[in-house]
Amino acid sequence: MAELKPETIKLVSPNGTRFRWSYYVTPDEYKGVRKWKGDIIIPVGTQMRTEKGETVEATQFMVEQLEQLLERWKAALKEAYPDRKFTLTKSQKTGEPSFPWSFEEDGLVIRVSKKASGVNPNTGQPYNNTPVAFYTNELKLMGDEERQKLEKIDPETTGQMSFLAKGYDAGGNGVGIKCIPLSICFRNIVPFTGGGASDFATTEPASYEEETKLTSTAADF
């Protein structure tokens, strides 16, 4: 039986999104794995327009899209592999099911990550992924010099992020949804004044990371 390909959806966070623990210029390295990663924070009450032109509360809309994707992925797995038993990926710290989204005091937090490079488990060939693209408020693609100025992003900087959400099946490590950053449109850049991007241990089993050939354009915003 051919490997089941997970459904993928593209989501764009609303204007006013903030950025935390950001590694989008220089990848973070953890246990030998280099990733572009970080958290985006969407304040509760933020309004956004959907592709259908509807105005909705952004945090509720985002969570609904992610939860519905997870339910469709679970149903697809059960249909494709009726004899297998599936469990959701669990947090190494709490032992509870782990999702790349959660609500905190500041709002909805979505954790995104994408390997900078690796080896394709199916072909054994090395690959390099496309870096997260940066756009200005005028929707112009930033060059290397402009990107380097955003090596550290002040938490008061706001903008939007385009990212993919897709299912994964890590076998004994569980199944779930992962969020893969594509691009950031910076709407209001606040100069970085201090503090550091604290490293945070991933709860993601490396076995479900794979090569992603993705493209983004200013049309996302």
- Which tens digits make up the pLDDT trace of 139-174? 999 999 999 999 999 999 999 999 999 999 988 789
Contact 164, 9 (CB under 8 A): yes
Q: Which residues of 18-39 are buried (b: 16+ CB within 10 A; e: fewer)?
A: bbbbbbbbebbeeeebbbbbbb
Q: Give the whole-number percent of the chain exceeding pLDDT 90.
A: 70
pLDDT tens digits for 54-93? 999 999 999 999 999 999 999 999 999 999 898 999 888 8
CATH superfamily for domain 8-192: Nucleic acid-binding proteins (2.40.50.140)
Question: How sure is the predictor about 122, in pLDDT bands with cuts at 50, 70 and 90?
Answer: confident
Paired with 48 in beta bridges are: 56
pLDDT of residue 41: 98
The full set of domain ranges for the chain reads: 8-192
pLDDT above 70 for 195: no
- The CA–CA distances, whole Å, from 115 to 29, 34, 37, 69, 212 equal 10, 6, 8, 22, 8
Q: Distance (Å, rounded) from C-alpha 93 to C-alpha 74?
A: 24
Amino acid at 209: E
